[in-house]
C-alpha cells in the first residue's frame, strides 16, 4: 500500500493521490506552527514530520493561522491577549475577566440570576480581601460628569457629549461649599455649557454632578429603550438587540422565569 511519507518521492500529480515512499513511516506527532499560514477556517490537524527533516523538494505544508472546531472544552484556563468575538451564546461556568466589554451591558455578569450588574476586584490594600460592587441601573443609558466649580459660573461639558447624549435629558445637581450661596442653574447653552448663578450675589464655590441619557444609537436617535415589554426571553425584545450586550442572558444562565415562580406548567 502506498505510504503518505513523501520523502524521496515525487509530488502527487492530482489532488488526493497518495505517493509511494519508504516502507517505514514515522507516524509520531511533531510540533506544528510552521509552513504556510492559512486564514480560512479549516479543521485542526497534527504534523507527523518536523520542519528540519521535511524534504526541500516537497511542497510546504499548511498550518492553521485560523481554525475552527465543533466543540471546545477548556479544563483549566483560556488565555488570549487579542480580541475575542462571540457571535452566538457563550456558556461560562467560571469567572470571565476582560479589560473591555463593548456594547450596552445589561444584566448580571457575576454569575447569579438576579439581574444585578457587578464587578469583583482584589482589595487595594489587603490581599486577603476582595471588593464587590453592584452597578446603578435605570431606564436609560446614563452618563455623568462631576467636579468642583470655584470662582466661575460656567461648567463646560465634555466635547464628546455632543451627539452622544440627548441634551434634553441633562440634569444638574449642585452642592455649595463653605457658605450659603443660593445656587441656581441659569441655563444650559447648546447642551455644552451649564450656566450657574448665585441668588445672593456671592462668589460660587460648589461641587457639581451632571447626568444625561446617552442615545441608544447615536446614528439614529429614534431608537429608544423599551424598559418593559411582552415576552418570554430577550429574543422577544421589540427593539434592536444588536445595541445591547445582555449580561444576564449572554454571559451565564438562560432563564425565562424567576426561580420559585409558578409558571403554571
d(CA 45, CA 52): 19
Q: Which of 64-68, 95-99, 126-130, 229-233 has the lowest mean pLDDT?
A: 95-99
What tens digit of pLDDT does each residue of 226-263 get?
A: 999 999 888 899 998 888 776 655 444 444 555 555 55
What tens digit of pLDDT does each residue of 111-164 get?
A: 333 456 777 888 888 888 888 888 888 899 899 999 999 999 999 999 999 999
d(CA 124, CA 118): 18
pTM, rounded to two decimals: 0.54
Mean pLDDT calculated for residue range 69-73: 73
d(CA 12, CA 18): 7
Among 195, 193, 171, CA closest to 184: 195
Domain residues of the chain, as ranges?
A: 1-72, 92-139+225-254, 141-214
Average pLDDT, the chain: 76
State which fold the 141-214 domain adopts.
Elongation Factor Tu (Ef-tu); domain 3 (2.40.30)
Alpha-carbon distance values, 105 to 18, 118, 157, 186, 236 (Å): 54, 10, 24, 35, 18
Per-residue pLDDT, 1 = 40
pLDDT of 89 > 80? The answer is: no
d(CA 233, CA 257): 9
CA 37 to chain centre: 28
d(CA 265, CA 256): 13
Per-residue pLDDT, 31 = 77
Residue 243 burial (CB count, 10 A): 15
Per-residue pLDDT, 155 = 98
Among 111, 110, 128, 127, CA closest to 119: 110
What tens digit of pLDDT does each residue of 181-213 get?
A: 999 999 999 999 999 999 999 999 999 999 999
Q: What angle do CA 84, 89, 92 make, to 5 degrees?
A: 70
Amino acid at each position: 500500500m502506498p505510504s503518505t511519507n513523501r520523502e524521496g518521492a515525487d509530488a502527487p500529480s492530482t489532488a488526493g493521490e497518495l505517493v509511494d515512499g519508504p516502507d517505514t513511516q514515522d507516524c509520531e506527532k511533531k510540533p506544528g506552527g510552521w509552513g504556510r499560514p492559512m486564514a480560512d477556517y479549516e479543521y485542526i490537524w497534527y504534523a507527523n514530520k518536523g520542519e528540519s527533516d521535511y524534504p526541500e523538494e516537497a511542497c510546504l505544508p499548511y498550518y492553521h493561522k485560523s481554525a475552527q472546531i465543533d466543540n471546545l472544552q477548556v479544563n483549566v484556563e483560556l488565555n488570549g491577549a487579542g480580541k475575542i468575538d462571540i457571535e452566538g451564546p457563550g456558556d461560562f461556568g467560571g469567572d470571565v475577566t476582560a479589560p473591555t466589554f463593548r456594547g450596552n451591558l445589561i444584566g448580571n455578569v457575576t454569575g447569579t440570576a438576579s439581574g444585578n450588574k457587578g464587578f469583583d476586584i482584589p482589595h487595594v490594600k489587603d490581599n486577603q480581601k476582595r471588593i464587590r460592587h453592584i452597578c446603578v441601573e435605570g431606564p436609560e443609558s446614563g452618563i455623568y460628569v462631576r467636579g468642583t466649580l470655584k470662582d466661575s459660573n460656567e461648567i463646560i461639558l465634555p466635547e464628546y457629549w455632543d451627539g452622544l447624549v440627548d441634551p434634553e435629558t441633562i440634569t444638574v445637581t449642585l452642592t455649595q461649599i463653605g457658605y450659603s450661596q443660593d445656587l441656581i442653574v441659569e441655563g444650559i447653552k447648546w447642551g455644552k455649557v451649564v450656566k450657574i448663578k448665585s441668588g445672593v450675589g456671592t462668589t460660587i464655590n460648589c461641587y457639581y454632578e451632571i447626568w444625561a441619557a446617552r442615545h441608544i444609537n447615536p446614528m439614529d436617535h429614534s431608537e429608544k429603550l423599551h424598559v418593559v415589554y411582552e415576552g418570554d426571553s430577550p429574543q422577544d425584545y421589540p427593539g434592536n438587540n444588536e445595541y445591547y450586550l445582555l449580561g444576564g442572558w449572554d454571559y451565564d444562565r438562560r432563564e425565562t422565569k424567576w426561580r420559585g415562580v409558578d409558571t403554571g406548567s
